Amino acid sequence: MDGIIATPKRITTVCIKAIAKRVNSDNEPKRRAVNYKPNIWDYDFVQSIGTKFTGDICIRPVEKLKKDLRYMLINNNEGVTLAQLDLIDDLQRLGLEYQFEKEIKAALDALKSVINNNGIIDGDVHATALCFRLLRQHGYFVSQDVFNSFIDETGNFMTSLSQDVKGMLSLYKASDLAFEEENMMDKAKAFSSKNLKDHKGNMDPYLAKQVSHALEVPSHWRVQWWEARWYTNAYERREHRNSTLLELAKLNFNMVQTTHQGELREISRWWKEKGFAEKLSFARHRLVECFLWSVGIVFEPQYGCLRKWLTKIMNLILLIDDIYDIYGTLDEIQQFTDAVERWDDKKIEDLPNYMKICFVALYEMTDEITSSIQKDQNRNIMTHLKKVWTDFCKALLLEAKWYNSGYSPSLQEYLDNAWISSSVSILLVHAYFVVAYDRSDDEVDLLESNQDLLYYPSMILRLCNDLGTSAAELERGDAPSSILCYMRETEVSEERAREHIKTMIVDSWKKMNENCISHSSHLPLIFLNISYNIARVFHCIYQHGDGVGVQDRETRNDVLTLLVQPLQLHLDEIHSI
């Protein structure tokens, strides 16, 4: 559609034609059919997934390897060394950070103390950029001024730095953690990316692969558990690798994957028992993918209960979204919205059967989660959960009204509603009450009164979704996306509109970086990391198009490599550790 201008008249005509198709000659509702591809993951296949990496056969060697690495992290009398920081970075990228939280925090506390005392980080550009990035990734504030020693008299980065490829790569990664209006970090991004591209043909293969990987998608935007699989394979080809670290990374990945496999088998039985695929055949059925995305949001083995809840939540979000966007009539979805707002399973007699199935599942799941939190924390969270579901349904209802009336909102009007309909608030509020179990009611109020904590990851999801799905939605005659709204307002081509939306995504990341760090003293780091991971997961989902509607491309490969296929490590190697 490049070069085509979307005028108000054109959008309205598309919508009116779609409305006409929904009504037959007897004025009875005619259901829309999108013809989503059927689920490709057979129940029996899911139940068969499993590996041998469990029990004492892995736990004993893992504990030995952890002991060796812990010694490397803490055994020095020289303060925090660059070798320690490089190790922390490797642990993080290999998915091992959760195994060494105390040691990493102690090292970064010491590093932050040095910066507070001196105001600078001594060292080359790699060391400085690595310190800056690790501190910001872990919720510490550190000023962009730490890079002042690398700025020349013109206010730009010194050209002599350009020959240091490792330093340029570190600087480029550090710039991913920029805040809004940090001009020096913008310069760092432009300077380092230019020099990395200039050097791509003149570096060793391992470093070249790292550079290509970083330039393809900003490292800070990548899903941590996805990255762990990729980096373990890459690290194995590194010339000066730490064999202890590599063996632990492989064992840990396979053990955690085994935990995930058990959870997936369990959640698959729930899905089959509910019979959603048979009873709600019009909708997208993406159980395995929803579980994969839950793993991306929080992979650590101790959060299995949260992963299973998030999987159920995301499946219900998809079902409800398809009811509002595709299948339900305006009258029916108004009834469903009213039912959710009343939250009474005894007063749903007037709902169509397919809506009753969905409402009862939502009601039962929310009651399950609320009862569990009440038992564990002695806290009643039903009011909070009801509110996010009600807000979500109301936002979907407004979009449906726009669609049915042929109304095309302004970009700002669209976004004011779309961040809520993105469903991120539902995921984050549920996650908060699981991981912030020791928080006071005042901190719950903090979450509710600071909407930015929910807003920016929601915006990233919504804008990435629009980039990935807008072409198909336009063809179906769906309600306008951010791309179409911007095209209409500014009378630009689709290509220009897409570039603008990409800029908005970058700006949202900068605002989320600053917002998460500003709240790091009030909220647990795991919750802030979940916020980041939600944005990261949906970047991944929509990076190559509609990764929800289409299963058999990149999404299928992610399922296989992350949930099905273990890293190659023979059992006789384990016994030799």
Task: Pull the structure tokens for residue 39.
Answer: 């689920």
What is the CATH number for 512? 1.10.600.10
Supply the pLDDT for residue 8. Answer: 35
DSSP symbol at 157 = B
Contact predicate 478/325, CB 8 Å:
yes
pLDDT tens, 116-135?
Answer: 666 566 678 999 999 999 99
Task: Answer yes or no: is 279 within a domain.
Answer: no
CA separation for the pair 149, 129 (Å, rounded): 12
Task: Answer yes or no: is 375 within a domain.
Answer: no
- Pick out the chain residues at pLDDT < 70: 1-29, 31-35, 54-57, 75-78, 116-122, 437-447, 471-479, 545-547, 549-552, 570-577
Supply the pLDDT for residue 119. Answer: 56
CA separation for the pair 310, 316 (Å, rounded): 10
Supply the pLDDT for residue 78. Answer: 63
What is the CATH number for 125? 1.50.10.130
* Residue 285: partners with Cβ closer than 8 Å, 6 or more residues away: 38, 39, 276, 277, 315
Boundary of a domain, candidates 181, 202, 221: 221
Task: Answer yes or no: is 366 within a domain.
Answer: no
In DSSP terms, 151 is beta-bridged to 157
Q: For 151, phi and psi rounded to 5 degrees? A: -100, 135
Angstrom distances, CA of residue 200 to CA of 85, 209, 344: 26, 9, 61
Q: What stretches of 491-568 show up as alpha helix (H) in DSSP?
A: 494-518, 525-542, 554-559
Supply the pLDDT for residue 135. Answer: 96
pLDDT tens, 414-454?
Answer: 999 999 999 999 999 999 999 876 655 555 666 677 788 89
Boundary of a domain, candidates 221, 244, 270: 221
- Comparing C-alpha atoms, which of 450, 425, 562, 437 is closest to residue 514? 450
Q: Residue for token digits 């063996």?
A: 247
Supply the pLDDT for residue 18. Answer: 39
Task: Answer yes or no: is 277 within a domain.
Answer: no
Q: 122-126 contacts: CB < 8 A, separation 24 or more?
A: 123/82, 124/164, 124/167, 125/150, 125/161, 125/164, 125/167, 125/168, 125/170, 125/171, 126/164, 126/166, 126/167, 126/170, 126/171
Task: Answer yes or no: is 353 within a domain.
Answer: no
Task: Answer yes or no: is 266 within a domain.
Answer: no
Neighbours of 358 (CB within 10 A): 25
Task: Answer yes or no: is 242 within a domain.
Answer: no
Domain count, the chain: 2
Boundary of a domain, candidates 173, 188, 221: 221
pLDDT tens, 164-177?
Answer: 999 999 999 999 99
CA separation for the pair 17, 21 (Å, rounded): 6
Q: Specify the amino acid at residue 131.
A: C
pLDDT tens, 446-473?
Answer: 667 778 889 999 999 999 999 988 766 6
Range of the domain at 189: 68-221
Contact predicate 290/551, CB 8 Å:
no
* End-to-end CA separation in angstroms for the chain: 58
CA separation for the pair 2, 5 (Å, rounded): 9
* Residue 206: partners with Cβ closer than 8 Å, 6 or more residues away: 234, 237, 238, 239
Tell me the pTM: 0.90
Supply the pLDDT for residue 123. Answer: 73
Supply the pLDDT for residue 472. Answer: 63
